[in-house]
Amino acid sequence: MRLDMNVTEPISIDIWSDIACPWCYIGKRNLENGLAAVASDEDAPQVSVTFHSFELSPDTPVDFDGDEIDFLAGHKGMPREQVQQMLDNVTGVAAKAGLEYRFDLLQHTNTVKAHELLHHAKAKGLQHEMEERLMSAYFTEGKHVGRVDDLVELAAEVGLDAAETREALESARHLDDVRADQAQARAYGIQGVPFFVIDGQYGISGAQPAEAFENVLRDLWAQRRGAVAASAE
């Protein structure tokens, strides 16, 4: 018998990430490329993606006095030359994912307000668009993503109401949502990002290649469909 696709729930992908994490943007793009690849399958997996908050450096000031090399050299205690080599490596990996990182323009900042904005966008059905806009602004355009004025401007670009967004950020309406995400990360034992939780049971750490996501999604979808077929017999 032919099974209708609607009888199977989508595979959930929950992603813990930070706007200021270069590997998170790479991992996001690799996931998207993996999703695009499986979308052409005859029996394409149905997938639901949700982003969650994780702050890599919550003690960072909103206006950091220095460039990315200054920050990482101080934060990690590494020589500037070694930091530059690390950034060059990340830039090369990002390029392979189709991203043009500009660490020479990047403005390091505290990201808690950006995470609050993502929860506001989620409530309005625009979380994915907001996540992409923030990461692009931060890593490729050198825009500031820590100040309310700048965040409101970016929010308006993806279709969010500017006045409503400003009120949400200035009142810290979604700060509890950010903290809840962080508490869930601790419960899962997540210590670094990006971290992908597939169907609430499989964890994938780091910016894995698109093929890794393709394989997991196809395997899980086949298991789902097999279980549905068995129950229908």
Q: Cis check for the bond before 79: say yes or no (omega within 30 of 0).
A: no
86 is written with which tokens? 């690390």
Q: Residues 85-116: pLDDT tens digits?
A: 999 999 999 999 999 999 999 999 999 999 99
111 is written with which tokens? 């990201």
pTM: 0.93
- Map residue 140 onto helix, strand or coil: coil
CB distance 55 to 118 below 8 Å: no
| Residue 37: pLDDT over 50 | yes
* CATH at 68: 3.40.30.10
- Map residue 209 onto helix, strand or coil: coil
Q: Residues 157-192: pLDDT tens digits?
A: 999 999 999 999 999 999 999 999 999 999 999 999
CA distance 149 to 2: 53
Say how many domains are in the chain. Answer: 1
* Domain encompassing residue 179: 5-232
First-to-last alpha carbon distance for the chain, in angstroms, is 9
